[in-house]
Amino acid sequence: MNRVFVIILSFFFLISCNKNVKPNIFWITIEDQSQYLLPFNGNQDVSLPNLEKIAEKSIVFDNMYATYPVCAPARSSIITGMYPNSIGTHNMRAMHFDNYFNNEKKFGKRSEKEQVLEVPYYSSKLAESIRTFPEILRENGYYTYNDAKGDYNFILDIDSVWSGYRTNFKLSKNKTPIFAVYNFNVTHESSMWKRDREELKVNPNDLKMIPPVFPDDSIVRHSLAVNYSNLIEMDRQVGDLVKTLKKEGLYENSYIFFYSDHGGPFPRHKRAIYETGTKVPFFVKLPNGKKEKIDNEQFLSFVDFAPTVLSIADIEIPSEYQGIPFLGKFKSENKREYLFTSSDRFDENPDRIRAVRNKKYKYIRNYYPENSHALDVEYRTQMPLMRHLTGLHLQNKLSEKENLWFRLPKLAEELYDLENDPFELNNLSGDINFKDQITKFNKILDDWLDEIDDLGKIPEKELVKMIANEN
């Protein structure tokens, strides 16, 4: 009798211990890819067998959005659960990269072209109450690993955030629980010119989907094929990671997130406030065939990642976080009716744009109509496709819709019916029939900007002074 009792007691003890085991969480992050470019979102021009196999057993979300259409500001919202324009991380190329690795603020000297800004390199500093989610994970027993993007536009102490960073980290089931970010950069914008002359893995002539923002010509087709070829190489690398996870016994029992840091590596994609710049692919594989009732069509934002990871790990979510947990113990039943995105300075080009959308419409407010959407970003001009489109524009050889991105001045307001116009080519802001919609969205946007205390309204020179005085 006593022996039976001991066995039963031991059984329940094991169950109880198992309930307290924190799950492993792995992130597969790729660079510069819009949702519509991926096969599990309906694209038939490329096959990615390794990712597609994971997606088959995952929750594929339809509406995940980057807070900003460029990397560093977007990453700052991911790691903090805060909107970049509420914590001062909204200007791209604000921070000199040495700031991160030296763990201190430095005011460096800008390039000759950037010096017209009269703004030194600087890094924002988070309020003491705002803590990154990897820090909180570490305090709760997690080994946190980043391989390896670390530019967040704010001062960050590597040692307090990451257990390992750009190291030869060896996965081991004895080193659990694990939170690890694997960043695959072969799909980055730079690969559009660095790999332009490499052998293609996709035949340009076989492509079925040519975005209507581009002319259907040989250079556009070649550029699309280059990107799809980069995606295929990325998928091979992901396959190697999956093999390692399975070998170490970490694949089945872990959460696996897959997403891109913002939209695609083309003009009118990355750095653009349009859907092509902000709507990204996203799916989550749950551990051990776990089921969770979820609305995969709800609006999600990068600010939701931090609270969701903590929710999965059964860790209380800081009240300062602006995102909504969509999985785990603290999953919110609240769903967004409106989704907000923003953009500000890109490299040497100041700008300020704010946008809000619901299921049907998207409203865009341009604070500097004198600036074209096609900002002269030196980095982007290295891309053959960018030079091609610019040449066609100057020769008046683009169609009216293809030329919209180059319009100067751009309109102060834009309104699109996304259900019927997913590439945002038919601006309804000048149509009297949509006056009420614009008035409504203006109010919603203003309320949100007040709610988050949007720092984009502060001239960058003044923002730098504010940050310097706070330190």
Q: Which residues are catalytic?
A: 71
Query: Quick check: 221 and 207 in contact, CB under 8 A?
Result: yes
Which residues pair with residue 417 across a beta bridge?
361
Instruction: Return d(Cα 292, Cα 288) in angstroms, integer.
Output: 12
Which residues pair with residue 356 across a beta bridge?
340, 363
Query: Quick check: 290 and 96 in contact, CB under 8 A?
Result: no
Give the pair of three-digit tokens for residue 291.
């089921």
Instruction: Return d(Cα 130, Cα 125) in angstroms, integer.
Output: 10
Q: Quick check: helix, strand or coil at residue 471?
A: coil
Instruction: Return d(Cα 225, Cα 200) in angstroms, integer.
Output: 7
Integer Rg of the chain from CA: 23
What are the CA-CA distances from residue 391 to residues 77, 216, 400 (Å)? 36, 15, 15
With CA atoms as reference, report the closest residue to 162 among 132, 184, 185, 183.
132
Amino acid sitting at position 445: L
With CA atoms as reference, report the closest residue to 78 among 150, 169, 127.
150
452 contact partners, CB below 8 Å, separation of at least 6: 83, 85, 86, 322
